Structure 1
Amino acid sequence: MNAAVSAPSAIETAALRSDRFRLDREADWKRLETIVTRMEKGRLKGISDEDLLALPGLYRTVASSLSIARETSLDAATLAYLESLVQRAWFVVYGTRSSLWEWLRGFLGGGWSAAVRSIWLDLLIAFAVMVAGAVVGWILVSHDPEWYFSLVGREMAGQRVPGASEEVLRSTIFGQSKESGMSVFAAQLFSNNAQVSILAFALGFAFGVPSLLLLVQNLATLGAMAWVYHRVGLAVDFAGWIAVHGTTELFAILLAGAAGLHIGRAFAFPGNRPVLQAAGEAGRRSAVVMTGVVLMLVIAALLEGFARQMVDETFGRFVIGGFMLSLWCVYFFAFRGNADAVLDRR
């Protein structure tokens, strides 16, 4: 009989404890739930400054309530409610602030171009180094053709070698309009340039020196190949062949090298800031630039694989290449848009 009486008593005590626990803290739970619901629906204007400031504290309070509820084995309904609320609040407090579409709109709507403009000094240095690399490659091969195979490599060169006839070299840049997809050489060239772009950025932490050396090496290869075509009077045709995709691909390499150099300069010359702070700020800007470099390399691959084969005359190739170059220059240096859209969120 005593056991029968004590059982309901224990249940009632547990229920009473659960109710008291809820009543003591329910106001904070409801307040947090209201804020989270409004933020999830995008109704930020309906949230007061006081509620926004209280949001982190409310989240920690409810998370603590959940921890206590689990330890004291409160009723399942309370546990489920708190678990759901804490999860939703976590995404609001610590999760992403915008959807993928909103981020992409901000990125293309001014964030990317702003990041590129913010590393203008590194762009100038990288551009000068690339020009110097092309000149060095030209000069080395013109004085000693054996340098060609050190810079280009026999596998990539194929028929494009010093001493090849005009007819052979012409066949490598014309008469490919019926080919489907990228040629083997186009695929090799794209793969090489993609690797250079990634490495030029990734090795920037070493004060930017490896990034600059990669730019020199890559453009020396182009300069060496240009001399081979120039020797038989096909320099202009070769430039048009390269221009279709090159104005995009080489621009991407320029941006990647400049992004790597920007990080390296932050390590070498942090100014009045701590080195890690300077490197962190430079890294965020460079990461935005590199996100766009990936997009440029994809576009360059499409141009290289299809447009260059479909357009089989030099003037048309220059038109495509010139249009792409103008498009990039206008976007990066004339288009402003919402310049802080991506940089601020990062």
Structure 2
Amino acid sequence: MIGEGVIGGLFSRRKAQDVAVEAAALRSDRFRQTREGDWQRLEAIITRIERGRLRSLSDEDLLALPVLYRGAVSALAIARETSLDAALVAYLEGLARRAWFVVYGPREGLGAWMRRFFGGGWSAAVRGLGLDILIALAVMVLGTVIGWLMVAHDVDWFASMMGGMADDVRVPGASRAALHGTLFGQQGQTGLSVFAAFLFSNNAQVTLMAFALGFAFGLPTLLVLIHNTTGLGALLWLYHGQGLLLDLIGWLAIHGTTELFAILLAGAAGLHIGRAMAFPGDRRVVDAAAQAGRRAAQVMVGVVLMLVVAALLEGFGRQLVNTTATRLVIGGVMLALWCAYFFAFGRGKRA
């Protein structure tokens, strides 16, 4: 009798489990039947987009895409909460994941982004900083003039402006021969490479600071530009005193037309954000800064590339080319190319 009771209890529990499984399967089937049409439509839309056939979609499908996506996510939440069968949950997870990338994921690959960026997006963003570029250029010219006049009045200013490196012969009172030697005939010496690396590192820091400090309403950006160019003015004064001004300009021109242009754009980008925050108009300050920041960030991506180009010109071109005329030609060509790209190329595009 006891054995029969145990067997009967096991049979009852087995039967109850079977009933529960059948009920769960019935709920899963009903759940699927009422929503399967929307899932299949969503999957068809996603498949077309993934295969690059976006243009073949109708307006109705495009408008329905976000609604179908939200419906699939909601169905997935219900399926998980009510413990529907694992196969259905896995299907909905995969469908929701694919739909998320279509609705919220990146719209273009790296190749498409680069084509858009170099095909006019970067130059359009630079043109959008027109007023800021003029302000930054005026400040840099002013800083150069101030540096020249200050050391001309008191040579003690030279050391504080230039900083200098150990054993640097470029100091007030240096002979013409010593200064001439820093510009020519040093292709085989490592000192020039060290100095080139120092200049690149310094100007990269100046570039980043000029941009980053723009969030303080642009005022620190102006100070950074002035401080950086006073050293340039002091150096020009030094070589002018020994009749080597044109040779120095040629020495600087190979990389300087690119590197100084990059600093100019970085300063303009910082000023653009600072002006937007100081004068937001009818927008909130946060919204004005965000809008200006998107344009400035696009400019800064290009500025980083310009610094890389300047580093290559500085590390190789200036040491391989040993005549002032050729250096001036290379620097002039680079300046003309940058100006043509920024202010003439892709004028029909907007940033």
For normalisation by structure 2, the TM-score amounts to: 0.94
Shift of 1:218: 0.7
Task: Choose the corresponding residue for 2:65, options 50, 55, 61.
Answer: 55
Distance between the aligned counterparts of 1:199 and 1:156, measured in 2? 25
Which consecutive residues of structure 1, in runs of 5 or more, have no partner in the other structure?
none
Task: Choose the corresponding residue for 1:37, options 41, 47, 51.
Answer: 47
Q: Match of 2:289, as an amino acid?
A: A
Q: 1:311 matched to which residue of 2?
A: 321
Distance between the aligned counterparts of 1:198 and 1:154, measured in 2? 21
Q: Secondary structure at the match of 1:162?
A: coil
CA RMSD of aligned residues (A): 1.6
Is 1:183 matched up with 2:203?
no
For the structure 1 residues 166 and 181, does the alpha-carbon distance in structure 2 shift closer, same or farther, using more than 3 Å as the test?
closer
Distance between the aligned counterparts of 2:68 and 2:167, measured in 1? 65
Which consecutive residues of structure 2, in runs of 5 or more, have no partner in the other structure?
1-10
Please list, as runs of the form range in 1=range in 2, the aligned pairs for 1:1-346 lying within 5 A after superposition: 1-155=11-165, 158-179=168-189, 183-336=193-346, 339-340=349-350, 343=351
Distance between the aligned counterparts of 1:273 and 1:5, measured in 2? 69
Shift of 1:260: 0.3
CA contact (8 A) 1:182 1:306 kept: no
Q: Match of 1:80, as an amino acid?
A: A
Shift of 1:147: 0.3
Distance between the aligned counterparts of 1:181 and 1:74, measured in 2? 73
Distance between the aligned counterparts of 1:298 and 1:64, measured in 2? 49
For normalisation by structure 1, the TM-score amounts to: 0.95
CA contact (8 A) 2:253 2:327 kept: yes
Distance between the aligned counterparts of 1:16 and 1:250, measured in 2? 73
CA contact (8 A) 1:244 1:307 kept: yes
Shift of 1:72: 1.7
- Encode CA deviations 1:226-261: one digit per residue, 9 max, x unaligned: 111111111101000000000000000000000000
For the structure 1 residues 321 and 284, does the alpha-carbon distance in structure 2 shift closer, same or farther, using more than 3 Å as the test?
same
For the structure 1 residues 245 and 216, does the alpha-carbon distance in structure 2 shift closer, same or farther, using more than 3 Å as the test?
same
Q: Secondary structure at the match of 1:81?
A: helix
Question: Highest Rg: 1 or 2?
Answer: 2
Q: Return 100-109 or 175-184, whichever deviates more.
A: 175-184
Distance between the aligned counterparts of 1:214 and 1:131, measured in 2? 13
Q: Return 264-273 or 178-187, whichever deviates more.
A: 178-187
Distance between the aligned counterparts of 1:151 and 1:289, measured in 2? 29
Q: Secondary structure at the match of 2:165?
A: helix
CA contact (8 A) 1:181 1:306 kept: no
Q: 2:6 matched to which residue of 1?
A: none
Q: Return 301-310 or 177-186, whichever deviates more.
A: 177-186
Q: Secondary structure at the match of 2:131?
A: helix
Q: Secondary structure at the match of 1:312?
A: coil
Distance between the aligned counterparts of 1:179 and 1:98, measured in 2? 47
Q: Secondary structure at the match of 1:183?
A: helix
For the structure 1 residues 27 and 281, does the alpha-carbon distance in structure 2 shift closer, same or farther, using more than 3 Å as the test?
same
CA contact (8 A) 1:207 1:268 kept: yes
Q: Match of 1:252, as an amino acid?
A: A
Q: 2:5 matched to which residue of 1?
A: none
CA contact (8 A) 2:186 2:192 kept: no
Distance between the aligned counterparts of 1:96 and 1:183, measured in 2? 42
Shift of 1:156: 7.4
